Amino acid sequence: MEYDYEYLKKQILSLTTIDLNAYKERQMKRRIDTLIAKHQIVGYDKYVQALKTDKALFEEFVNYITINVSEFYRNPDQWKMLDEQIIPELIGKFGKNLKVWSAACSTGDEPYSLVMALSRHIPLNQIHIIATDLDKQVIAKAKVGLYHEKSVESVPADLKKKYFTQVGPAYKIADEIKARVEFREHDLLKDPYPSDCHLIVCRNVLIYFTEEVKEEIFAKFQKNLKPGGLLFIGSTEQIINHRELGYARKSSFFYERPM
């Protein structure tokens, strides 16, 4: 029997609960084939057997396919709009106890950026970010809060000085920022979403999913926003049918659930 990619998808779903059907096939298959070749394993069946017996290999696989690319204040112009326009509007509508969800938060760059951005408007002890990701390894890294210089180069100078400590070539985020973020494991495809959010941030993640899955996730985000709440997406994304999904477009990257 030839073990094809369909076989691999079924096995991965059974082993990890990750449904590879949700991802663009050519792109994901190429990533997995590269990883298998790196270990000089021949055939999907042998790789599946290795995943079942080798914990390090299994964790590497989950980390690899969940695509963790992140940095603080990624696309600074969008964060400037968040700081100068979006956060003041949200406070005007809802007050300072905002419910904010950073979905697919990767290594923590995004939720920690959100805490710092909000700290310009709200006392730190009133800020609470829910940050979720499928990959427990990146959540563990996020909780450590140690980052390469390149990851923090877009952080505004005053915030960088205030909330980071240089440790050799790396930068460590302040404990007072870390304390404002609650990390949880979460699968966007299967798990219940945090409800009644004032701001949901999910950036540069959904580009890896099929159009059908993207639409399903955008619809779920809309249902879990408070009326007047906002979705902040990445510079590589857009919601073409936003009206049909119940959004009003505020800008290229901010979509509102109308009041």
Task: Give the count of domains, the chain.
Answer: 2
pLDDT at 69 > cutoff 70: no
What is the domain range of residue 95? 76-256
Question: Which of the listed residues 31, 65, 99 is the one where a domain comes to its end?
Answer: 65
117 assigned to some structural domain? yes
Token pair, residue 62, equals 């989950």
Same domain (yes/no): 184, 226: yes
71 assigned to some structural domain? no
What is the rounded average pLDDT of the residues 218-235? 96
Q: Which of 86, 241, 136, 175 is nearest to 100 (CA)?
A: 86
> pLDDT value at position 67?
53
The string of pLDDT tens digits covering residues 123-134 is: 999 999 999 999
Same domain (yes/no): 33, 87: no
Q: Residue 234: CB partners within 8 Å, gap ≥ 6?
A: 74, 75, 202, 203, 204, 205, 207, 253
133 assigned to some structural domain? yes
Same domain (yes/no): 58, 87: no
Same domain (yes/no): 123, 174: yes
Q: Given the structure tokens 């995943």, which residue do they identify?
A: 51
36 assigned to some structural domain? yes
206 assigned to some structural domain? yes
CA distances from 197 to 100, 200, 225, 246, 256 (A): 6, 7, 5, 15, 12
* CATH number, position 227: 3.40.50.150
The string of pLDDT tens digits covering residues 28-65 is: 898 899 999 999 998 999 999 999 999 889 878 876 76
70 assigned to some structural domain? no
Same domain (yes/no): 57, 138: no
What is the rounded average pLDDT of the residues 61-84? 83
Query: What strands lie across the sheet with 164-167, from one edge to the other?
Result: 146-148, 170-173, 164-167
Same domain (yes/no): 55, 109: no
Q: Given the structure tokens 């991802």, which residue do they identify?
A: 23
Q: Residue 118: CB partners within 8 Å, gap ≥ 6?
A: 87, 98, 100, 127
Q: Write down the H helix ranges in 83-202.
A: 87-94, 109-119, 136-144, 157-163, 175-178
The string of pLDDT tens digits covering residues 161-177 is: 999 988 767 788 999 99
Same domain (yes/no): 36, 92: no
